[in-house]
């Protein structure tokens, strides 16, 4: 508020703190515990550390990286040349064994 008063050129005003009340309760603590237990990507050591430290920037960046890599792998597997690669490899191994 002091920055707003300074910007507006108002001096000598009393700053009133807004009334705050705690919004967390036992139920929200249980929800948090359940969320952390049921979320597999939070079990990654870097993610767990960032979550425990309250480092939301690192948490966001790590999760974004995980999603990006998963999408990249899905795209790679869906490409026609790569979709049948395991089957082609198996057939090649079988053909090699029969040719001996």
Q: What is the pLDDT of residues 47-64, one digit of tens each?
A: 889 988 999 999 999 999
Q: Which of the two residues, 5 and 73, has the higher pLDDT score?
A: 73
Kindly state whether residue 26 falls inside one of the protein's structural domains. no
Kindly state whether residue 15 falls inside one of the protein's structural domains. no
d(CA 71, CA 34): 27
Kindly state whether residue 19 falls inside one of the protein's structural domains. no
Q: For 56, left (φ over 0), alpha (ψ -120 to 50), or beta?
A: alpha
Residues 47/63, Cβ–Cβ less than 8 Å: yes
pLDDT value of position 3: 83
Kindly state whether residue 33 falls inside one of the protein's structural domains. no
Kindly state whether residue 56 falls inside one of the protein's structural domains. yes
Kindly state whether residue 7 falls inside one of the protein's structural domains. no
Kindly state whether residue 17 falls inside one of the protein's structural domains. no
Question: What are the tens digits of pLDDT across the range 13-47?
Answer: 777 777 888 788 899 999 989 998 999 888 888 88
The angle, 0 to 180 degrees and rounded to 10, between the axes of the packed helices 45-53 and 56-78 is 150
How far CA 15 is from CA of 1, 3, 4, 18, 41, in Å, comes to 7, 11, 11, 9, 44
Residues 19/25, Cβ–Cβ less than 8 Å: no
Q: For residue 95, what are the domain limits?
A: 41-100
Kindly state whether residue 11 falls inside one of the protein's structural domains. no
How many domains would you assign to the chain?
A: 1
């Amino acid at each position: 508020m002091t920055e707003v008063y300074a910007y507006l050129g108002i001096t000598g005003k009393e700053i009133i703190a807004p009334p705050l009340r705690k919004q967390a309760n036992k139920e929200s603590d249980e929800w948090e515990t359940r969320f952390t237990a049921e979320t597999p990507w939070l079990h990654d050591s870097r993610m767990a550390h960032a979550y425990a430290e309250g480092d939301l920037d690192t948490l966001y960046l790590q999760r974004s990286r995980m999603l990006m890599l998963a999408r990249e792998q899905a795209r790679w597997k869906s490409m026609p040349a790569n979709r049948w690669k395991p089957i082609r490899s198996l057939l090649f191994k079988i053909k090699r064994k029969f040719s001996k």
